Amino acid sequence: MINFTSALYLGLHHPSRLLQPWKQLTLGVPAALAEPPGAEEVAQRLAQLQGCEQGVLMPSTLHLFWDLFGMLCQQPVTVYLDEGAYATVRWGVERVGARGVAVHRFRHHDATALLSQIKLQIRKRKYPVVVANGFCPVCSKAAPIGDYLEIVRRFGGLLVLDDTQALGILGEAPVGCAPYGHGGGGILRWSGHFGPDILVGSSLAKGLGVPVAVLAGSQHWLKRFKTASDTRVHSSPPSVAVIQAAAHALTVNQVQGNLLRQRLAQRVGQFRKGLELVGGSSAGGWFPVQTLHGIAGDAAVRLHQRLSQRGVQAVLSRPHNNREARLSFLITARHCAMEMDRCIDMLDSLANSVKTPTNNEQLKGQPTSACQSR
C-alpha cells in the first residue's frame, strides 16, 4: 500500500528509543502551577526557530486558540477573519462571537477587502484583530502577510496567524534549488515579517511530527496569555513524552531538516513532472499537498476508489467554498521515487476512465428504496 494521506511531511516518527527517558508522564498539576519538565526550554527553542521572543506549549491548537481568543475578548476588540481560516481557528473565533464580540469575515487572502471591512468599523474604536492561516494548502499560497501587517499597524491592531502547515517546511531564503527555504521556521521566516504585533499559533503535528502546539510572539503577549489562559488551569498540559518528542524533532530539524526538505521537494517535483508527462496537472506548487486538476466531484470519488483497490491511498476533500470533491496526494520525504512513478502510472491509466462511470457504477449510484431517494 502506498499512502498519500499522511501530513507528516518530513517523515519524522520519533520512536521512543530515540527520545530522552522520563520518570513520569505528568506531574499531576496544571501548567498554571508547574510546567512539565522540558516544556519551557522546548517552547523557547520553537519561538526562536519562528523568529519570535517567547513561546508556550499547549496540548493542541484547539486549546491554544480557545484560550487566545478568550484572552483577546477581555478588551474591546473587533475580529476580522480570513474566510479560508482553518477549523480550529474558527472555533476559537466563535468563542468570542458568542460573547458578543463583532466578527467580520473577509475574502480569502484579499487585503483590499480586509481594509474595506476595517474602515467600515473604524468609528466604533475597537482594537482590530486580523486572523488568517499563514499558508493555505487549498489555494497553495502564503497569506499576504506584509499587506495584512501594513493594515494592522495602520490601525494599531494585532495579526494572529495559524502556521501549522508551514512550520517545519517553509523557512528563510527560498530559491529555485531550495524552494522551501532553510531552517523550517515557518511563515514569518519565509516572509521576513516580524514584530510585537504578531501572534503565531502552530501545531507541530505536520512538519515536525509531534501532536503538540506552540503559541509564539512577544514577551508582552505571552505573559498576558499565560495569565489569562483557561485550559492551562483546567486541562492537562502536554505530556513529558510529547515534550521529549518535540525536543527530538527540533534536534532532527537542526541537523537534518534542510536535507529532508530537499528530498521532499524532489518528490513533489517528480510528482508534478510525472503528471505533466501524462497530460495532467495539480494545484499545490512546491507544497507537499498536491490536488489534481480536471477531476472533481463524482469522478474524483471514483478515482479515489479505484486507486484504493490498487493499493494507493489518497485524500478526498471538499475545499472551502467548493461543493465538489477533490482528490489530493500528501507527499512526504519518506516516499521513494519508485512509489511516485507507480502512482503516476496508475493515474495515467485511470484518469480518463473515471470521468464516465461504468454501467455497474451507475447502477450502484441509483437509490434502491424510497428512503434512500429522499
3-state SS assignment for residue 190: helix
CA atoms of 347 and 341, how far apart (whole Å):
10
DSSP state of 132: E
Q: What is the pLDDT of residue 138?
A: 86
For 189, list phi and psi in degrees, rounded to 5.
Answer: -65, -40
Of the pLDDT bands very low, low, confident and very high (cuts 50, 70, 90), residue 352 is confident
- Residues 346, 239, single domain; the answer is no
Q: What is the pLDDT of residue 67?
A: 98
Q: CATH code at 204?
A: 3.40.640.10
Instruction: Tell me what the mean pLDDT of segment 5-24 comes to.
Output: 96
Let me know if residue 234 belongs to a domain: yes
Question: Which is nearest to 292 in space by CA: 301, 282, 280?
Answer: 282
3-state SS assignment for residue 344: helix
- Residues 178, 273, single domain; the answer is no
- Residues 147, 284, single domain; the answer is no
- Confidence check: pLDDT of 248 > 70: yes
- Residues 246, 265, single domain; the answer is no
Let me know if residue 160 belongs to a domain: yes
Q: What is the pLDDT of residue 321?
A: 63
Handedness of CA 174, 152, 168, 55 (dihedral sign): positive
Q: What is the pLDDT of residue 317?
A: 86
Let me know if residue 346 belongs to a domain: yes
- Residues 301, 171, single domain; the answer is no
Let me know if residue 358 belongs to a domain: no
Query: In angstroms, what is the C-alpha Rg of the chain?
Result: 22
pTM score, whole prediction: 0.91
- Residues 168, 236, single domain; the answer is yes
- Residues 62, 100, single domain; the answer is yes
Let me know if residue 365 belongs to a domain: no
Let me know if residue 200 belongs to a domain: yes
Q: What is the pLDDT of residue 356?
A: 64
Helical residues (DSSP H) of the chain, grouped into ranges: 39-50, 61-72, 87-98, 111-121, 145-154, 187-191, 219-228, 231-234, 240-277, 298-309, 337-350, 359-364, 370-373
CA atoms of 289 and 135, how far apart (whole Å):
12
Domain termination residue (choose one: 250, 265, 283):
250
Q: What is the pLDDT of residue 350?
A: 94
For 243, list phi and psi in degrees, rounded to 5.
Answer: -65, -40
Q: CATH code at 293?
A: 3.90.1150.10
DSSP state of 37: T
| Structural domains in the chain (count) | 2
| Parent domain of 58 | 30-250
Q: What is the pLDDT of residue 139?
A: 87
Domain termination residue (choose one: 231, 250, 269):
250
Question: Which is nearest to 104 in space by CA: 122, 88, 117, 95?
Answer: 117
- Residues 159, 189, single domain; the answer is yes
Of the pLDDT bands very low, low, confident and very high (cuts 50, 70, 90), residue 365 is very low
Q: What is the pLDDT of residue 360?
A: 46
Average pLDDT over the chain, rounded to whole?
92
Spatial neighbors of 17 by CB under 8 A, at least 6 apart, are: none
- Confidence check: pLDDT of 161 > 60: yes
Contact call for residues 171 and 185 (beta carbons, < 8 A): yes
Alpha carbon separation from 370 to 85, 221, 359, 365 (Å, rounded): 39, 58, 22, 14
- Residues 125, 206, single domain; the answer is yes
Q: What is the pLDDT of residue 149?
A: 97
- Residues 170, 49, single domain; the answer is yes
Contact call for residues 218 and 53 (beta carbons, < 8 A): yes
Contact call for residues 225 and 67 (beta carbons, < 8 A): yes
The three cell numbers of residue 35 are 510546567
Domain termination residue (choose one: 190, 219, 250):
250
Let me know if residue 321 belongs to a domain: yes
Q: What is the pLDDT of residue 345?
A: 96
How do residues 146-160 score in pLDDT, each as one tens digit? 999 999 999 999 999
CB atoms under 10 Å from CB of 181, counted, come to: 20
How do residues 31-60 score in pLDDT, each as one tens digit? 999 999 999 999 999 999 999 999 999 999
How do residues 267-315 score in pLDDT, each as one tens digit? 999 999 999 999 999 999 999 999 999 999 999 999 999 999 999 999 9
Instruction: Tell me what the mean pLDDT of segment 114-141 comes to.
Output: 91
Let me know if residue 10 belongs to a domain: no
- Residues 334, 218, single domain; the answer is no
The three cell numbers of residue 253 are 530539524
- Residues 296, 161, single domain; the answer is no
CA atoms of 250 and 254, how far apart (whole Å):
6
Instruction: Tell me what the mean pLDDT of segment 130-144 comes to.
Output: 94
